[in-house]
Amino acid sequence: MGRAFVYVILGGGVAAGYAALEFTRRGVSEGELCIISEEPVAPYERPALSKGFLLPESPARLPSFHTCVGENDEKLTPKWYKEHGIELVLGTRVKSVDVRRKTLLSSTGETISYKFLIIATGARALKLEEFGVEGSDAENVCYLRDLSDANRLATAIQSSANGNAVVIGGGYIGMECAASLVINKINVTMVFPEAHCMARLFTPKIASLYEDYYRAKGVEFIKGTVLTSFEFDSNKKVTAVNLKDGNHLPADVVVVGIGIRPNTSLFEGQLTIEKGGIKVNSKMQSSDSSVYAIGDVATFPVKLFGEMRRLEHVDSARKSARHAVSAIMEPEKTGEFDYLPFFYSRVFAFSWQFYGDPVGEVVHFGEFEEGKTFGAYWIKKGHLVGSFLEGGSQEEYETISKATRLKPAVTDVEELGRVGLEYAETV
C-alpha cells in the first residue's frame, strides 16, 4: 500500500517551510504536495531555539515561530497546510529512498512515491562519542538541533538556577547558548580547542571584544583544550567535566555545540555527494534530474566565488528552497541561483551581519566598543569579498550587502580601514 504525490519534500525544517509557501504561491493543487518529517511539529524557524526559546521570561513557544515569520511572511500553522491541501506527515522518519523507483519508505512501513523529490533533511549535531567521550545520554548533557533538544535544555536550565554550566564548543551554539544561560543566572564556563571564539568567522580582534564582554557577564573561557570525560552521580547525571589540560569543572548542565553533519546517508551511493552535502547544480537539482536538494544538506555552486559550497545558515535554506521550487515549477523562467552568503547572530545586546566570504586580508573599521558600530572587510586578490558589521541599521546592512555582491576592486587597503562603512556607500 502506498500513496503517490507529484511533489514530496523530505524533511520538515526551515527549508521545507519556505518551499511549501513558494509552492502555494506558484499554484499547487490539493493533494499534489506532501511533506514528511521526523519532527512532530510543522516547520518552524530553528534559530529561535537558541534565542527566544531559552528566555527566562515569556519564552517563545510554538505556534509563534512557525515558518515563515522569520521573513515577516505568512505563519504556516498545521491549519494552513490543511487549508492548502498539503499533506503534512509528521513524527515519521524516512528509512530508505529508492531514487531509481522514485519511492520513499517510512518508519511506519508506508511507501510514498513522487514525481519530484526535494531533499531538505538538514543536519544532525555531532556527538561527543564521535570524539571518544561517553555520556551524551545523561539528562543534563544537552545538544541543540531540534525542538525536543530545546525542551530538554529549557528543563535543564530551570533545574540549574544559580548553578554551573559548562559549554563545549565556541561556535554559534556555544556563543548563543552561553548568553542564554547567563540571562538565566547560570555561571558559565566555555571550553573550546581554538585560540578564540567563533574561529570560523571572527577575527582575533572581533573575538576579543566579544570575549571581554562575556567575561564582564561572568563567563569564563578555557581555550586550546577539549573535554576528555564526564563524572556521574548514581542517577547517571553528569556532576563534573574533565578537560585534557587537567581542569576539573563542576557542572549542573552541559551544553554541547561541536558542529554538525548533513543528513545525506539515505542517498549515499544513489546521488553525487560533494563537500559532505548532496551536490546540486544552479537549479538545486541533484545528479538525478527528479531530485532536488536545499538548505544545510545541499552543496551548490556559489556563482560569486566560482566554487561549490555547503552553507549552514537560515538565509541560504530559505532562498535555496524558493529557488528549487521555482526551478521545478517554472524551469524556463528560472535562472541560475546567484546567492550571496549571509550569516547573522544576536547575543545579549550585540547583533551582527556578515555577507560574502571571510577569506584573505582583513581590515577593521569603526569603534570597537560595545554599543558602537564597527566591522571588518575581507580583501582577496585585490577585491572586497566579505563584510562584517556589528550594530548597523537595516540600511547600513543593505549597503554592505550590495557592495560585497559587486566585489569591487580595492586599491588602498589602509584607506578602506579609515573610511570604514562609508566605503561601502561609495561602491
- Binding characters for ligand FDA, 89-118, by CB under 6 A (x = yes): ----xx------------------------
The answer to whether 13 contacts ligand NAD (rule: CB under 6 A) is no
The answer to whether 171 contacts ligand NAD (rule: CB under 6 A) is yes
The answer to whether 167 contacts ligand NAD (rule: CB under 6 A) is no
Under 8 Å between Cβ of 294 and 262 = no
CA 99 to chain centre: 27
Q: Which does 62 bind (CB under 5 to 8 A by kind): ligand NAD, ligand FDA, none?
A: none
The answer to whether 301 contacts ligand FDA (rule: CB under 6 A) is no
Taking the complex as a whole, the smallest distance from the CB of residue 344 to ligand NAD amounts, in Å, to 6
For ligand FDA, give the closer residue by CB, 144 or 376.
144
CA end-to-end span of the chain? 60
Restricted to residues 260-289, the positions that interact with ligand FDA (CB under 6 A) are: 263, 266
Cis peptide before 250, with omega less than 30 degrees from 0? Answer: no
Angle of helix 147-158 relative to helix 172-183, nearest 10 degrees, comes to 40
CA dist 228 → 140, 166, 307, 387 (Å): 17, 13, 37, 37
- Binding characters for ligand NAD, 334-373, by CB under 6 A (x = yes): ---------x-x----------------------------
Name the nearest CA neighbour of 350 among 321, 302, 304, 391: 391
Q: Cα–Cα–Cα angle for 259, 56, 125, nearest 5°?
A: 15
Q: Which residue is nearest to ligand FDA (CB)?
A: 13
Q: Torsion angle, CA of 351/354/358/364, rounded to 10 degrees?
A: -60
The answer to whether 22 contacts ligand FDA (rule: CB under 6 A) is no
For ligand FDA, give the closer residue by CB, 39 or 252.
39
Q: 121: alpha, beta or left, given left = phi > 0 and alpha = psi -120 to 50?
A: alpha
> What grid cell was written down for 87?
499533506
Q: Which does 259 bind (CB under 5 to 8 A by kind): ligand NAD, ligand FDA, none?
A: ligand NAD
Q: Which does 341 bind (CB under 5 to 8 A by kind): ligand FDA, ligand NAD, none?
A: none
Q: Which residue is nearest to ligand NAD (CB)?
A: 171
Q: Cα–Cα–Cα angle for 73, 78, 80, nearest 5°?
A: 50
Q: Which does 174 bind (CB under 5 to 8 A by kind): ligand FDA, ligand NAD, none?
A: ligand NAD
- Total number of residues binding ligand FDA (CB under 6 A)? 35
Under 8 Å between Cβ of 274 and 300 = no
The footprint of ligand FDA (CB under 6 A) covers: 11-16, 36-39, 46-47, 49-50, 93-94, 120-123, 144-145, 263, 266, 295-297, 312-315, 317, 343-345
